[in-house]
Amino acid sequence: MTPPFNTPPAHPHPTTVNIRTLRAVVFTTDHRVIGIQYLVLALISVVIGTLLSLLMRIHLVWPNWPLPLHGPILPEDYLALVTIHGTIMLFFVLTTAPQSGFGNLILPAQIGARTMAFPALNAASFWLTAAALVVLLGSTFVPGGAAISGWTAYPPLSAITSAGPGQALGMDLWLTSIALFAIASTASSINTLTTIIRNRCTGMTWERLPLTVWGWFTAALLSIIAFSVLLAAILLLLCDRHAGTSFFLPNGDLVNGILHKGGNGSPLLWLHLFWFFGHPEVYIAILPGMGLTSMLLANFSHRRVFTYRTMIATTLLIGFLGILLWGHHMFVAGLNPFASSAFSISTMAIALPAAAKVLSWLATTWRSRPSYKTPMLFALGFVSLFITGGLTGPILAQPILDEYLHNTFFVVAHFHLIMAMAGVFGLYAATYYWFPLLTATRNHPGRLLSEPLGHLHFWCTLLGAYAVFLPMHLTGLAGEPRHYAQLTGIPGPGGSLSPAGALLSHTLPLNQFITYAAIFLATAQLVFLFNLTHSLRKGKFASSNPWRATTLEWHPTMNPFTLLTASDTPEMSVHRAPCHYQSNKSEVSFLPQWEPIPLAQDEIEDATDTKPE
Amino acid sequence: MICSRLTSACLPSLWIDRAAIHSPWLLPADASAHGPALDHHLLLNLWVALALLTLAHLILLIGLFARRHSEPTRLWRIEYLPLTVLALLFASLTLKAERLWAASRYTGASPTALQVEVTGVQFAWYFRYPGPDATFGITRPSLVAPGEGNPLGLDPSDPHSADDQVTSQLVLPANREVDLRLRAQDVIHGFSIPEMRLKQNAVPGQTIHLHFTPTTPGTYAILCTQLCGLGHYRMNATLLILPPNQFATWLAAKQKAAP
Ligand SMILES: [Cu+2]
Ligand SMILES: [Cu+2]
């Protein structure tokens, strides 16, 4: 009934002609090639971002170490490192890879669609994103240096070109880069939403959508809302910088001896607009990973997802609450204290859908004897990091505690665990899981990443992640602020070692440990890079459904990487929600979404919300 | 006052031990009246987080290692009950946090509080005392001239400005409420005194009031905690808390030295 794996196409393209291949790859509108392009862009970005973070860590504990070809790291260099690291990781890795990379590669197949809704727009989005990355990296080489205002770019620092290093051309390029990214991301999200709404195959009802698709759907909704506000804010800031307006500048602002006379703006307006984008942004980064984790836990535990419908509802609820709580970044920013109370309550509220998700994950794996393949390990790691990072969220949501913890390393630890580390674990799970779909070509089936190397990579990364970020809670509690280029020997007003110098330098031993751990964590990623490059050419060939998955991207005709002509792909239809597994004592059987034969068990399909399997 | 003594008494002694300042593991010493209650609530939150963290990981690990088991489970027991418990737990923590927040921020300082103005400038903090007339003189950005000893741009034509005292060290009496007027001249700065459990951004164009009562005489660090440019990390000052009589002497000497 289904054609054998990788039926060669009837009319193979003429080979050779490098230029044509090149053009085909560069200007392709094939969503799968675009997905790969996004992933390559994210991989380049994550390597750069990681190296920058290592430089920061090294500078913090060995401040006199001269950077090769550069010399000592000056305070403005350190702040440029912070800014570029944050920007590149958040935008070009954590937003790009799950949402645009795997979204393009997997999403259409998962809903039984042939293509994305707008292929040309899709290609344009990618090239805008690539241009944004080039502009961002280019900003580090301009006179005056890269932007040093952190990824939040608070004015007036970012609004006045004479406010210090990095605020002139470097800041203009930074803003341009983010504006380009915002446009690309909005376009890409419109594409995603339209594809999900319009291109689902027969039988793919909303309740049968895999939870990954719900993750992509909610993240795309948030992207459209959040990035358009960010784009508006950036345009206003550019007007303040070059057109003499003062949206964000108060009258009589005196920066570096230059008096700004003008309208009556407020920096707080930027904070509102920026965080209205900035907080949803972290959910954009994590929601696809949450969806994938749900699916992987069910797949490798051979169980249904516990409370499938509730999981859909909590995904949407997290998205909805996610746009109502930006003010928790502003408890000590000059906001009315009553407003802080309101934002505190909306932030606490989001802990409940998040907790419901954790409960579902725990219930899905509870006494399931899962098979510990590498994607499953990374999904379990995601759960662990999500819990650990998530539990400090309610602490920071309380204004009275934020009064002490705000802008300390406690916050850095919190968001790195939940957004960066859990986010990256989601990406690793996706890479190990979907590698056969990434590597299948016309001529051979997909390959698998090496399992032993995958296990080694997982354990080193988990250990490294905790070793780096758990101690940061302690340096934060000890009072160490973020964005400090130096911790030791900070001169006081009189020149002698000040109380500030004493307060900061006593976290040094712990910071040295964190730096060693960070070097270990980064080194462990070489195992992954080796596995990736090695398995790309020499990895084991995968069968057409190596994980016994139930979702449509593993349908035999969806497997080949290169685009099939319409005649090669029979119309697909879906008969049930994903993750239908059945087990008796010895045997586990599974029922893919596309398989029409119902098992006896299948009659009670959606009534199973009441039990874990 | 009694309330804060009570809460600090029930804390583990290590937590508020001044020796803790030498350890990288704990909060720095606490020297403000509202601090012990904040510390207590923070500690409570950390214990709750640690307990939930342990519990969740235990459930995860036991579930992974136990024999496979496929009996149906009742939804209320593993979904609604835990969610209700968590909702109540987080609601009570929020409620307690809100009460503390309201106590320190919903209302301003008492009218008898000591008035001090704090101004953040790239990359220094300036402190201004209003002098015997108890009124701050007018400042104008156009008059700012740090080289001529007028970093805040005090207007000499305003009679209130003549007796204003501008210092680079914040000196306060112990056990008297202070009403800080927080301002910034150029960019956003973060006014933070970790040992007073105090943090508030200074925003250009805004005057933000912050009140607290220091309790223990000593010297403490004032930091900048909002990225404000390349000198952000060295934008610090010293807070000196004096016993009330010594503070009066200091203030009198300062005023006598004034031209
Ligand atoms: Cu500052
Ligand atoms: Cu600063």
Q: What CA–CA distances, in Å, run from A347 to A143, A271, A394, A420, B45?
A: 42, 17, 7, 20, 15
Chain pair A-B, CB pairs under 8 angstroms: 308
- B226 with A507: Cβ contact below 8 A: no
* pLDDT surpassing 70 at residue A535: yes
- Give pLDDT, residue A489: 76
Q: What is the mean pLDDT of residues A123-150?
A: 94
The answer to whether residues A411 and B110 touch, using CB atoms and an 8 Å cutoff, is no
Residue of chain A nearest B126, judged by CA positions:
A493
Question: Among A540, A549, A543, A434, which Cα is nearest to A32's?
Answer: A434
Mean pLDDT of A491-495: 61
Chain A interface mutation, best of B96, B232, B235, highest count of A Cβ atoms under 10 Å:
B232
Nearest listed ligand to the Cα of residue A484:
2
* Tokens 């989005």 found at: A125
* Residue B222: DSSP 8-state: E
**CA nearest neighbour of A425 among A539, A536, A313, A285:** A285
pLDDT at position A507, please? 87
Residue A14 Cα distances to A19, A21, A27, A315, angstroms: 13, 10, 18, 46
Per-residue pLDDT of chain B (259 residues; tens, 9 = 90+): 333 333 343 334 334 344 444 555 688 989 999 999 999 999 999 999 999 999 999 999 999 998 887 766 677 788 889 999 999 999 999 999 999 999 999 999 999 999 999 999 999 999 999 988 889 999 999 999 988 889 999 999 998 988 899 999 999 999 999 999 999 999 999 999 999 999 999 999 999 999 999 999 999 999 999 999 999 999 999 999 999 999 999 998 888 776 5
Q: How confident is the model at residue A568 (pLDDT cuts 50, 70, 90)?
A: low
> For residue A585, is pLDDT > 70?
no
Chain B nearest C-alpha distance from A352 (Å): 7
Q: Which residue of B has its CA nearest to A154?
A: B188
Touching A: B residues 202-231, CB under 8 Å? 203-206, 208, 219-231
Best probe of the B interface among A335, A400, A513, by most B CBs < 10 A, is A400
- Of A148-162, A252-266, B63-77, the poorest mean pLDDT is in B63-77
Q: Which residues, listed in sequence order, are joined to residue B117 by a DSSP beta bridge?
A: B128, B181
Summarised one tens digit per residue, pLDDT across range A194-252 is 999 998 988 899 999 999 999 999 999 999 999 999 999 999 999 999 998 999 999 98
pLDDT confidence tier of residue A263, bands split at 50, 70 and 90: confident
Q: Is B148 helix (H, G, I), strand (E, B) or coil?
A: helix
pLDDT of residue A136: 96
Please give the share of chain A, as a percent, with pLDDT higher than 90: 69
| Residue A14 structure tokens | 């003429």
Distance (angstroms) between ligand 1 centre and the Cα of B228 equals 5
Answer whether residue A494 shows pLDDT above 70.
no
Using one digit for the tens of pLDDT, what is the confidence trace for A424-481? 999 999 999 999 998 887 777 889 999 999 999 999 999 999 999 999 999 999 999 9
**A498 vs B192, B225, B236: nearest CB:** B236
Give the model confidence (pLDDT) of A12-61 as tens digits: 444 455 777 777 777 788 888 899 999 999 999 999 999 999 999 999 99
- In this predicted structure, the answer to whether residue A493 has a pLDDT above a threshold of 90 is no
How close A479 gets to chain B, by Cα (Å)? Answer: 6
Cis peptide before B123 (omega within 30 of 0): yes
Give pLDDT tens digits for A83-130.
999 999 999 999 999 999 999 999 998 998 888 999 999 999 999 999
Q: What is the pLDDT of residue B15?
A: 40
pLDDT of res. A2: 39
pLDDT of A567 higher than 70: no
Q: Is the dihedral of CA B173, B174, B178, B184 positive or negative?
A: positive
User: Which residue from A minimizes the CA distance to B99?
Assistant: A400
Task: Choose, out of A345, A403, A604, A610, the residue to mutate when testing the contact with B (most B CBs < 10 Å).
Answer: A403
Cross-chain residue pair B72–A401, CB shorter than 8 Å? no
Tell me how far apart the alpha carbons of residues B210 and A384 are, in angstroms, rounded to a whole number: 39
Nearest ligand for residue A148 CA:
2
Predicted confidence (pLDDT) at residue A149 exceeds the cutoff of 70: yes
Q: Which residues pair with B219 in a beta bridge?
A: B240
Residues of A in contact with B95 (CB under 8 A): none
At residue B181, the 3 state secondary structure works out as strand
ipTM of the complex: 0.90
What span, in angstroms and rounded, lies between the C-alpha atoms of B146 and B142?
12
CA dist., res. A449 & res. A433, Å (int): 9
Evaluate if residue A374 carries a pLDDT over 90: yes
- B223: chain A residues, CB-CB within 8 Å: 479, 481, 500, 503
Q: pLDDT tens digits for A294-334?
A: 999 999 998 889 889 999 999 999 999 999 999 999 999 99
Q: Is A197 left (phi over 0), alpha (psi -120 to 50) or beta?
A: alpha
Vertex B35, ends B32 and B37: CA angle to 5°? 140
Residue A610 has pLDDT above 70, yes or no: no
Could B28 and A478 be called an inter-chain contact, meaning their C-beta atoms sit closer than 8 Å?
Answer: yes
List residues bridging with A341 in a β-sheet: none
When pLDDT is cut at 50, 70 and 90, the band that residue A611 belongs to is very low
Of the candidate ranges A254-258, A429-433, A587-591, the one whose mean pLDDT is the lowest: A587-591
- Give me the pLDDT at residue A57, please: 95
Helix (H, G, I), strand (E, B) or coil at B238: strand
pLDDT of residue A589: 79
pLDDT exceeds cutoff 80 at A524: yes
- Ligand nearest the Cα of residue A79 is 2
Per-window interface: B 34-53 vs A, CB < 8 A = 38, 41-42, 45-46, 49, 52-53
| Contact: A493, B169; criterion CB under 8 Å | yes
d(CA A22, CA B81): 58
* A344–B60 C-beta distance less than 8 A: no
Task: Please calculate the CA angle B239-B191-B23 and round it to the nearest 5 degrees.
Answer: 65
Kindly state the average pLDDT of the residues A535-548. 89
Strands B218-224 and B189-193 come out as antiparallel
- Computed over every residue of chain A, the mean pLDDT equals 89
Average pLDDT of the segment spanning A176-194:
96
Q: Report the pLDDT value the prediction gives residue B11, as an integer from 0 to 100.
A: 39
Which residue, chain included where needed, has tokens 């702040």? A79
| A503/B201 CB distance under 8 A | no
**Three-state secondary structure call for residue B75:** helix
Residue A170: predicted pLDDT: 95
Does the pLDDT value for residue A569 go beyond 80? Answer: no
For A386-420, the pLDDT digits (tens) are 999 999 999 999 999 999 999 999 999 999 999 99
